[in-house]
Amino acid sequence: MSNKKIPIYVFNNNESKIVLSDEEIYAIETEKKKYAHARAVVIEALKIVQKKRGWISDQAIFAISKILKISISDIEGIATFYSQIFRQPVGKHIIRYCDSVVCYINGYESIVKEITKILKIQPGETTEDGIFTLLPVCCLGNCDKSPTLMINNKTYNCVKSNQIQFLLEKY
């Protein structure tokens, strides 16, 4: 399958083309065949597009809705519900910190303070060089090892603020 992008839908005025690659369309259509209801494929479709592009644009939402024959608002509702689906461009490395009550009690605020000081960004922002995005999450499932931090798919437990510089230098 080539990476050539092909238009799948064009608005009447030809100003806005909505494109997905052959690979993305094929992957979504393949997932669609596995389920009786297209609605069951929405999350997989979003993940397929995000894997290729890093985030989900409004145009991608529209294209997915056309492929699955589901309303744009339904797709948008699902895309915005899950914190793992990005609706805006994110950095190369995603830093997630747990801001649950347990991590709060165990000091996540000092960790976030150190990250924001070093990277010069606030939660929800991406560094100017596009390397890091800092995002809060309601729980990373490691309450017994809090405070917890996750960079991409790697989880760091019992994190201390004096470890942040070392952790960031790995990326």
Beta sheet of 154-156, edge-to-edge order: 132-137, 93-98, 149-151, 154-156
Residue 158 marked in a binding site: no
Cα 106 from chain centre: 26
Residue 132 contacts residue 122 (beta carbons within 8 Å)? no
Annotated ligand binding at 138? The verdict is: no
Q: Which residues of 123-154 are buried (b: 16+ CB within 10 A; e: fewer)?
A: eeebbeeeebbbbbbeebebbebbbbbbbeee
Task: Show the tokens assigned to 47.
Answer: 């993940």
Count of all residues that appear for the chain in the document: 171
26 torsion bin: left (phi>0), alpha (psi -120 to 50), beta (else): alpha
The annotated binding site is made up of 98, 103, 139, 143
The annotated binding site for [2Fe-2S] cluster is made up of 98, 103, 139, 143
